[in-house]
Chain A
Amino acid sequence: MFDEILQPGATWSHVLKRGTALRITDIDGGLNVGAVFYNWENPTERYNMPDTLKAQHTAHLTSGHVLYSDMGRVLCSITADIVGWHDPLSGCSNAALVAQKYGHAGYQEHRNEYYKNPYDGFAIELAKYGLSVRDMAAPINFFSKVVVEDGGNMHFVSRHSRAGMYVDLRAEMNVLTILNTCQHPLDPNPKYDPRRAHVSISKVSAPLPDDRCRMSRPENERGFVLTERYFE
């Protein structure tokens, strides 16, 4: 239907319609894409990190997984994934963290290369839809991998995503999707160096009864049933 390039550090939003899918592609390698999701018809229903993790007994996201709202419904399904691991745990940087890590680069001197941070990016975008930081969901960091070692220590895996890798999200509801291409908050690179993403949206057929995401576990089958009931 359409595609677009997200510049480094940019925030982007779109109401992804049920029956369409979003592909996000890493153009240059080393991409991170922060993401939050809302039911467009009632944004108090939103992506819920704990519900997503515990329903699928996972601390990472990849194909076959779905993104649950707090209302027991499936917002999006991950129908394809070349990357293999996306991080739901680590959250996002704010202005103070970005300044502490990379210093300051303002618009006056740097024009649109000024240093951006995802917290403010999400907050501004939410405001455009009548929402605020009170509505901030715990974001997913697509294209990033954070391994939790025995004992609980979190370890960021550098250079996880490579150029050309992509992930497909099929919308199971009408989903306000907000993306941000700032660096992952645990990225040890001392340089402000966010990357570009390519996004494309296409029409897709409704999931079949034997859909992989639906059948990957009994929880997801019930999640799909509850989502279908919402539209009945």
Chain B
Amino acid sequence: MKIIEKPPDPSTARYDQIIPAGEPWIHEIIKGQHLRIIDVEGNQAADTLFFNADDYADRYSAQDTIRTQANIYLTTGTKLISSKGNVLLTIVADTCGRHDTLGGACSMESNMVRYAIEKRHMHACRQSFVKAALAWGRGLEKRDLAPNINFFMNVPVTPHGGLTFRDGVSGPGKYVELRAEIDVLALISNCPQLNNPCNAYNPTPIRVLIWDPKHG
């Protein structure tokens, strides 16, 4: 657990919204604003993408982010690097400890591979991503959906190159807070996955708050 800034008071936020499990959220964050994502009830994955608000082809890159910091976990101090090498946001506070960016977002198709072909019907993050992208318009579509961040999710990698989905690093009220370094578009899917422990088999709401720079 590592917090490097005094957390702002939620009552001073300019924006405060609950995202139920299984719902997407898309919103612009202006340079200097702080975005806080709260794991309200604990163990809930918040699948998140960011785009440069002026150029959607310049988007969050999991690979560039982890390579730049030479560490696969995201936490306080992590700069979220875009596909064109820009810093989109910085994680300025994190009461969870670490977040995943290798596990990606669940989809109907990946659920069929991972669990059973009969799971096709089950709701999935990439359904939410596509739905929100199409609703947002402005040219955003499926091809723009690159590997995402899974806030509050634990996907450890071993020195032998193994990777597993595990429960257990987040908890009720834990949060991550990011400062936008340029204007960005945030796209979140509050994960509906029921087939693995990423949501403790019980998807729950998350809460997002935005502060203007003067409160940061």
Contact = CB atoms under 8 A, between A and B. Distances in A.
Interface of A: 44, 48-51, 53-55, 57-60, 68, 70-73, 85, 89-92, 94, 96-97, 132-136, 138-139, 147-154, 185-186, 219, 222-223, 225-226
13 contacts: A48-B104, A51-B110, A54-B110, A57-B164, A70-B110, A91-B64, A138-B62, A138-B146, A148-B157, A152-B98, A154-B67, A222-B112, A226-B113
Interface residues of B, number: 44
A158 to B, nearest CB: 15
Shortest beta-carbon contacts, A-B, top 4: A50-B104, A91-B63, A72-B109, A60-B161
Given A59-B102, A72-B109, A147-B161, A226 B85 contact: no
Contacts of A54: 102-104, 110, 114, 155, 163, 165
B54 to A, nearest CB: 14
A90 B143 contact: no
Contact of A68 (B61, B71, B113, B162): B113
Given A68-B113, A226-B117, A135 B143 contact: yes
A154 B70 contact: yes
Contacts of B164: 57
B66 interface: yes
Contacts of B83: 133, 136
Q: Which of the listed residues B85, B117, B143, B161 has the most CB atoms from chain A within 10 Å of its own CB?
A: B161
Contact of A89 (B72, B109, B116, B159): B72
Contact of B147 (A133, A138, A150, A151): A138
